[in-house]
Each structure stands twice: as structure tokens, then as C-alpha cells.
Amino acid sequence: MRETAPHLEGIDNLRFVLVLLVVATQGALSYGVPGSAWWVVRDTSGSPWVGLLGVLLELPLLPILCFIAGYFAVFSVSRRGAGAFMVQKVRCLAPLWIAGVLVAAPLPVHLGLLARGERWEGLRSWWPRFFTSLYHQSVYGFLGLLLVFFLILAVASRIPAFARWLDQEPPENCERCRRERWRGVLLLYCLTSLGVFLVHRRVPLDGWGHWNYLFMEQPLRIPLYGGYFLYGLVAGRGLFLHREWLRGEKAWPRLSLWLPLGLVFLVGYGANRLGVLPEQREDLVVQAATALLMAGMTLSWLMVALALARCGLERRGRIWRRGARNALGIYCLHPLVLAPVVFLLRGVPRVPPEGKFLLAVTVTVMLSLALSEGWLILIRGFRKRSPG
């Protein structure tokens, strides 16, 4: 059965909120404790509270975005077919990914060097440095990872059994997903915990890796990204969550259950990040506890986010619709705005780091939204004038 994705305004607005939190996380890297996130422009007056905010925010954001991507990818690949689905994703994401890595990602790194007092030596000498010891894809590596997930989905949809699963009719009522959802939640938690633990045995907590300069991510997060993309696929097929899971009278998940659990995991994960010494991170028990806390915090805050989307982000009005329409544009443009803003605010010594953080994030969101909206207007105007 070829069906279209249900229009869920709460999910569109949730995606917008998640992108705003990504911007806040990048801002927190600039104003957190010294020594973190060398690829961003850092202010010398760091705040441990801003740094802690960034540590707590950044873990669940991208896995939740992976869940949303998987949820809607089910409908897209079922309706378009594997070939057209992949062509559409490549046309949408590949230019943003390539331009981000080659053009946008070097800017924060370069301004960060200038902020640390290094002398300008021109692009001829600086560009090779970026692609050796200074290489980083910033937020754009996530776009490349999504492309890989979409490619795997497109290839898998050629398998007859998987294609039949994609095209099957979701259940008319929620009885099946109510019976199986807790089993699915437990399975997701166990598998992502195990994946994070196995990777953590070989990779440090905040380690980064790139594969021949093509894909760059934190290996410890890949089990979370892959697990939640897969969970989104399952949710889109009516298992564990049904296709109208935000609108049903007995909609699930419930905020009253998951918010307290999310706060418990938030405190536990924060204590793990602050209380465990670097030399203790090699211990097997510590790594197991870290994996359980990371998986639990990600799962609980996914459920909190979905509950908030249902009860607080539906029918929010025109301003929210405009923000949701520009979520991808804000995500891609904000490093080009945030890095210069942080660099310029270095010359304002009387403002505390918390104030600079709020100012930098606010200005970045507003300018990125304006630039994205202007770009969309140009694209629409070009399409109207083009023949045919």
C-alpha cells in the first residue's frame, strides 16, 4: 500500500525546537569550560554552568532527529519507491553536506585559531592545515550519516520481504501496539545500551573519528543514531507507536510517566559526566554504567519530546510554521553566523559568559532564520520564472 505520511504539526514544531537546541548546544561549547570543543570559537571567560548545559543538551538531540527522519522515511520510500526516494534525499542533503564540510565547517575552526592569537597566514597555508590536524565537519557530519541511513533503507526496500513490511497496512486500532510497545521500548534500551558499551570499550567517551575524511562522527553515538532511526521506521509501520500516536484519545507516550524518569536519567548522566575522573573511564563497570545512563537518558527524553509534541506543540500558529519550514536552513546556516558573533563578542569584557551565551544564541537564531527564509523566497521565485 502506498500511503502518504500523516501531517503532524506537533512533529514539525518539535523538529524546529530540536534545531534551536542544537544551536544552543553549539553556543554552549563556545562559552563552556575551557578545553572543550576546539573546533568552535571559544570565549576566554567560560562558565561551568553553560558548559554543563551543553553536555546535557547534546546527547538526546540528534537521536531524536534520527527517530523523526526514520518515521517519515517509511512513508516516503513506500510512496516513491527506492530509486526516487534516494534521488530525492541525495538532491536535498548531499549539496548541503558537501558545501557545509568544504565551506562552512572551516570558518569556525579558522576564527577559533584567530581567537587564540594565531596570526593570519592566508588560505594557501591555512587550508591544508584544516584537512590534516584541524579537520572537523562540525554539525554537517550528521547530514552525511543520515544519507547513509537513507541509502541502507533504499537498498533494504529492494528485498521482497522488507518491501512487503513497508507496504503493509498499519493496524486500524492501537491494541497491537499497546501490547507490544513496552517490549519494543525495552528492546531498544537494551540494544542501544549494548551498542554504546561495546563501542566504548574501544573508543573514549567524547572521541571523534572520520573515515577517509568522508564521514565524521562520534563513534559512541552511532549505536544511538542507528537504533533510533530504526525505531522511527518501526513507529511508522504502526508497531509500538501507531500512525496517529499524537492524536489518539489514549495517545502514548504520557508526559506524567516519562518526565520524572527523564529527570532521573538527566541527574544520573550529569553526575556521571562530572563525577567520574578521566583515568576511571577505562574501567569496565564505569563504561557499563555510562552506556546504561546514555541509553536511558536518550530514550526517556525521546518520549518526553513526543509527549510535548502532542500536548504542547500542535496548532501553534504562523510564526511556528515559518520556523518549522526553516528548520533545516537554520541547522545548516547557524555555524556561519554563530562563529563570527562569538568572535565579535570577545571584545565585550563586561558582559558575563552567561549573558554572552544568551545573546549569541538569540542573534544566531534570528539571523539564520532570516537568511533561510530569504533563500526559500529566492528558490520559489526562481522556480516560478523557470520554463515548464
Grid coordinates of 132: 590534516
pLDDT single digits (tens) 67-106: 999 998 988 888 888 889 999 999 999 999 999 998 888 8
Residues composing the chain: 388
pLDDT single digits (tens) 20-44: 999 999 999 888 866 566 678 877 7
The beta-carbon contacts of 6-10 under 8 Å, at least 24 apart in sequence, are 6/243, 6/244, 8/246, 8/247, 8/309, 9/313, 9/314, 9/315, 9/316, 9/321, 9/324, 10/246, 10/309, 10/310, 10/312, 10/313, 10/314
Residue with cell 592545515: 129
- Report pLDDT for 260: 96
Contact 112, 40 (CB under 8 A): yes
CA separation for the pair 361, 338 (Å, rounded): 7
pLDDT single digits (tens) 330-345: 999 999 999 999 989 8
Contact 90, 13 (CB under 8 A): no
Cis link prior to 253 (omega < 30° from 0)? Answer: yes
Mean pLDDT of the chain: 85
User: Residue 386 is inside which H or E element, if any?
Assistant: none
Q: Is the dihedral of CA 312, 315, 320, 322 positive or negative?
A: positive
Average pLDDT over residues 142-158: 93
pLDDT single digits (tens) 110-126: 888 787 777 766 666 66
- Report pLDDT for 385: 63
- Report pLDDT for 333: 94
User: Residue 128 is inside which H or E element, if any?
Assistant: helix 123-130
b (16+ CB within 10 A) / e for 284-320: eebbbbbbbbbbbbbbbbbbbbbbbbbeebbebeeeb
SS3 state at 215: strand
- Report pLDDT for 111: 84
- Report pLDDT for 167: 78
Residue 286 makes CB contacts below 8 A (sequence gap 6+) with 276, 280
Q: Which residue has the higher pLDDT, 110 or 287?
A: 287
pLDDT single digits (tens) 346-363: 878 788 888 999 999 999
SS3 state at 45: coil
pLDDT interval class at 241 (50, 70, 90): low
